[in-house]
């Protein structure tokens, strides 16, 4: 299970921390797995690979949120029974990482020692309540219009019919899966780990303040130059890797 879900290109058996990176909608794990060579030896990096992507491309994309969360937790516990876990998630990956953290705590009495969430409003924020049709009921053309309004998907992808044939199945599956993320945030924060929140200066405005309700631990917020995929810029990528590393020293 862990071999399918967790893509680790640079194994570090003596690392104290396992940095688990959750994909954005339609994304894979290789972008993050490459980070492993840039982190110090005390941090091992794994990208989460969902069905239908990269090494799992022969599997059908899944919209079963419950099964995905259960399988993710099982993979993490099997591979890292004693390692300190650190979660990073951008856009959909932030919501996915939070639901995984809540499930881990409920089922295994374990939570990340630190979390990094990026590029999206907190799950319980009013901004996350998208009006109109659910993605699961949209036609392909309506779904493409939905993506255009939402922002974040490169225009060269949206305007290329052949590319969209490849991207629509995982993108649609992920947005349907997002409809299943519950992330129940009550009057008391469900987590206690420190939480660092990042966003692109030129991205659409997100409700980052609401992320503070997720944890009783320290929270910080920082903006970096760029739009929704600011983290792909080499300078921002280097900054994030340095920031995460220093926070774990």
| Closest among 146, 97, 87 to 122, alpha carbons compared | 97
CB 206 within 8 A of CB 127: yes
Q: Which phi and psi (to 5°) does residue 225 adopt?
A: -60, 140
Task: Count CA within 13 A, CB hemisphere, residue 137.
Answer: 3
Catalytic residue among 29, 91, 97, 118: 91
DSSP state of 214: G
Tokens 């609401």 locate to: 210
The span from the CA of 153 to the CA of 157, in Å, is: 7
Query: Rounded to 5, what percent of the chain is helix, strand, coil?
Result: 45, 15, 40
Run of H or E including 30: helix 30-33
Task: Give the E-state strand segments of 129-246 in sequence order.
Answer: 195-200, 219-224
The span from the CA of 233 to the CA of 226, in Å, is: 8
CB 4 within 8 A of CB 47: no
| Catalytic annotation present for 91 | yes
Q: Which are the catalytic amino acids?
A: 91, 228
């Amino acid at each position: 299970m862990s071999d399918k879900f967790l893509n680790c290109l640079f194994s570090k058996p003596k690392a104290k921390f396992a940095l688990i990176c959750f994909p954005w909608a339609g994304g894979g794990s290789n972008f993050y797995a490459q980070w492993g060579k840039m982190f110090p030896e005390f941090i091992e990096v794994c990208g989460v690979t969902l069905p239908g992507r990269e090494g799992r491309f022969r599997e059908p994309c899944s919209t079963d949120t419950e099964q995905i969360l259960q399988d993710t937790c099982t993979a993490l516990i099997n591979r890292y029974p004693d390692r300190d876990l650190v979660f990073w998630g951008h856009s959909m990956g932030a919501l996915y990482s939070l639901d995984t953290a809540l499930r881990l705590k409920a089922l295994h009495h374990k939570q990340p020692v630190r979390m990094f969430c990026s590029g999206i409003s907190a799950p319980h924020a009013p901004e996350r309540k998208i009006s109109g049709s659910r993605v699961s009921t949209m036609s392909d053309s309506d779904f493409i219009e939905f993506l255009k309004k939402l922002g974040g998907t490169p225009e060269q992808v949206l305007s290329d019919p052949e590319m969209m044939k490849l991207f629509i199945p995982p993108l649609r599956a992920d947005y349907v899966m997002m409809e299943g993320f519950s992330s129940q945030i009550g009057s008391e924060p469900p987590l206690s780990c420190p939480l660092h929140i990042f966003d692109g200066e030129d991205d659409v405005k997100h409700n980052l303040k609401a992320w503070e309700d997720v944890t009783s631990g320290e929270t910080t917020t920082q903006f970096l130059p760029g739009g929704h995929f600011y983290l792909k810029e080499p300078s921002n990528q280097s900054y994030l890797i340095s920031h995460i590393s220093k926070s774990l020293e």
